[in-house]
C-alpha cells in the first residue's frame, strides 16, 4: 500500500456524546415536535428509535413497504436539525466509485498536459499533486464523514435492498468506525459521526451483521387516525369530509388482496387528484375514474373496478371518525 510510512492524513479525534455541535432533541416528545414542524407525523413508537439513534450514535435501519414515509423521515430530521442531508440512493451495481470517491481522470489528464507543456516535470511532485484532494471527487459516503462538515449531517442510505451484498459488506465496515482510507491520501475520519438512516423496501433480506449494528424499526402503513393526520397536514386545503372519506377508503382498500397495496404517497396523490377535479365527496364512479392514482398495476385496477369498489366504499363508511377509525 502506498500509505506505508505515511502519517494518517487526518488525526482520528475522539467524538464525545455531547459536542454541542447540533441541538439534539432532549426527549422523545421533542423528536415528535421536531418532525411535526417539518410536516412529518410520527407516533411515539417511531420517535423512540430516532431519539435513541441520535443519543447512542447508532445507525437507524428503517424497513417497510414503498410509500410509507421512510425516506421522508431522513429529510424531515435533517431539516428539523438544520443540518445537511446527504443521500446515497442504492441500486444494483452501485460501487465504491459512486458511493465513496473517484479520481477526476479528465482533470488529471488535463493537468498532465499542462505540466508537459510547461516543460519541467518533477515526477514525484507531479504524482503527489495529481493524487491530492484537488482531483478527488467525493461521493456521498465520503462527504458524510468529511472533516470539513462542521455539523454532523444526516446520511441517508436509501433502499439498501437494491444494492449488491458486496456493497453491504463494505458499508458494515464503514459503519463500524466511520472512517475511510484512500491509499494515495490517507485516512478520512469523521469528526462528528453522521446521523445514519438506512432504508429498505425489503425486496431482499439485509444481512444480520448489518442489522445488528443498527437500531431497527418497521415502518408500517398508518392507521386511520394517523393517515388522516398526515393528509390533513400535507394537504391542508382539502375539505375535511373528503379527507376522511379518502382515508377510510384507502384503509379499506389495504384489506384487499392486491399485487401492490397503496402507500401514503398514493393517498396523497389521490386526494390531490380529487381536488383537481373539484370533487368534494367520494362516489363509486369517481373512484373508478381515478383508480390509477392509487393502484399501479393494471391487474389490480381490473380486479377492483366496479362492484368491488362499490362494496369497499360501503364498508369504508364504518371506518370514519365516529367509529374511532375502526370497522364497527
Ligand X SMILES: Nc1ncnc2c1ncn2[C@@H]1O[C@H](COP(=O)(O)OP(=O)(O)O)[C@@H](O)[C@H]1O
Compute the residue count for the chain: 328
> What is the spatial distance between Cα 66 and Cα 70, in angstroms, rounded to a whole number?
8
232-251: contacts with ligand X (CB under 6 A):
234
Cell numbers describing residue 230 = 398526515
Q: How far is it, in rounded angstroms, from Cα 141 to Cα 90?
A: 12
In the set 49, 59, 67, 262, which binds ligand X (CB under 6 A)? 67
Is residue 68 within the footprint of ligand X (CB under 6 A)?
yes
CB of 74 to Mg ion, least distance (A): 9
List the single partner that 272 binds among ligand X, Mg ion, none, CB under 5 to 8 Å by kind.
none
Q: For residues 207 and 209, give the distance between their C-alpha atoms in angstroms, rounded to a whole number.
A: 5
Q: Which stretch binds ligand X (CB under 6 A): 61-69, 165-173, 284-292, 295-303?
A: 61-69
Residue 192 near residue 18, CB atoms below 8 Å: no
Q: For residue 242, which phi and psi values (nearest 5 degrees)?
A: -65, -45
- Please tell me whether residue 70 binds ligand X under the rule CB under 6 A: yes
Question: Using CB under 6 A, which of the segments 25-33, 66-74, 181-189, 292-300 binds ligand X?
Answer: 66-74
Least distance (Å) between residue 22 CB and ligand X: 22
Binding footprint of ligand X, residue count (CB under 6 A):
18
> Which of 32, 53, 54, 71 touches Mg ion (CB under 5 A)?
71
Asked if 49 touches ligand X (CB under 6 A), the answer is no
Site for ligand X in 178-217 (CB under 6 A): 199
31 vs 182 by CB, closer to ligand X: 31
Q: How far is the CB of 220 from ligand X (least distance, A)?
A: 11
Q: Is 264 in the site for ligand X (CB under 6 A)?
A: yes
Q: Classify strands 186-189 and 154-158 as parallel, antiparallel or unpaired.
A: unpaired
Q: Which stretch binds ligand X (CB under 6 A): 59-67, 116-124, 170-178, 295-303?
A: 59-67
β-partners of residue 179 are 189
Long-range contact set of residues 46-55: C-beta below 8 Å, sequence gap at least 24: 46/73, 46/217, 46/219, 49/215, 49/216, 49/217, 50/77, 51/25, 51/27, 52/215, 53/195, 53/196, 53/197, 53/215, 54/24, 54/25, 54/195, 55/17, 55/24
Per-residue DSSP letter, 64: -
User: Is 71 near ligand X (CB under 6 A)?
Assistant: yes
Across the beta sheet with 215-218, the strand order is: 85-89, 154-158, 195-200, 60-63, 215-218
**Which of 230, 250, 293, 312 contacts ligand X by CB under 6 A?**
230
CB of 201 to Mg ion, least distance (A): 7
Size of the site for Mg ion (CB under 5 A): 1
Give the footprint of ligand X on this chain (CB under 6 A).
39-42, 64, 66-72, 199, 230, 234, 264-265, 268
Give the footprint of Mg ion on this chain (CB under 5 A).
71
Amino acid at each position: 500500500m502506498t500509505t506505508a510510512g505515511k502519517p494518517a492524513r487526518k488525526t482520528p479525534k475522539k467524538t464525545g456524546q455531547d459536542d454541542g455541535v447540533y441541538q439534539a432533541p432532549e426527549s422523545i416528545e421533542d423528536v415528535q415536535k421536531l418532525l411535526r414542524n417539518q410536516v412529518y407525523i410520527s407516533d411515539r413508537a417511531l420517535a423512540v428509535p430516532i431519539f435513541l439513534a441520535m443519543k447512542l450514535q447508532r445507525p437507524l435501519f428503517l424497513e417497510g413497504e414503498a410509500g410509507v414515509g421512510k425516506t421522508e423521515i431522513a429529510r424531515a430530521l435533517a431539516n428539523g436539525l438544520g443540518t445537511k442531508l446527504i443521500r446515497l440512493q442504492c441500486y444494483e451495481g452501485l460501487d465504491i466509485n459512486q458511493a465513496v470517491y473517484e479520481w477526476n481522470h479528465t482533470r488529471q489528464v488535463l493537468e498532465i498536459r499542462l505540466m508537459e507543456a510547461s516543460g519541467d516535470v518533477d515526477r514525484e511532485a507531479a504524482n503527489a499533486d495529481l493524487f491530492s484532494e484537488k482531483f478527488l471527487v467525493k461521493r456521498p459516503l465520503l462527504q458524510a464523514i468529511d472533516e470539513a462538515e462542521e455539523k454532523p449531517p444526516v446520511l441517508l442510505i436509501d433502499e439498501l435492498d437494491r444494492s449488491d451484498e458486496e456493497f453491504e459488506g463494505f458499508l458494515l465496515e464503514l459503519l463500524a468506525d466511520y472512517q475511510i482510507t484512500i491509499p494515495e491520501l490517507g485516512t478520512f475520519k469523521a469528526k462528528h459521526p453522521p446521523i445514519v438512516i438506512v432504508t429498505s423496501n425489503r425486496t431482499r433480506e439485509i444481512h444480520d451483521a448489518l442489522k445488528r449494528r443498527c437500531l431497527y424499526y418497521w415502518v408500517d402503513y398508518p392507521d386511520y387516525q394517523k393517515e388522516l393526520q398526515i393528509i390533513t397536514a400535507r394537504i391542508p386545503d382539502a375539505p375535511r369530509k373528503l379527507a376522511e372519506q379518502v382515508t377510510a377508503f384507502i384503509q379499506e382498500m389495504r384489506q384487499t388482496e392486491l399485487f401492490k397495496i397503496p402507500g401514503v404517497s398514493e393517498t396523497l396523490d389521490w386526494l390531490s387528484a380529487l381536488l383537481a377535479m373539484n370533487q368534494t365527496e367520494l362516489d363509486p364512479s369517481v373512484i373508478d375514474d381515478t383508480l390509477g392514482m392509487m393502484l399501479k398495476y393494471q391487474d389490480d385496477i381490473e380486479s377492483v373496478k366496479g362492484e368491488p369498489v362499490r362494496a369497499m366504499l360501503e364498508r369504508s363508511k364504518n371506518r370514519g371518525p365516529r367509529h374511532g377509525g375502526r370497522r364497527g
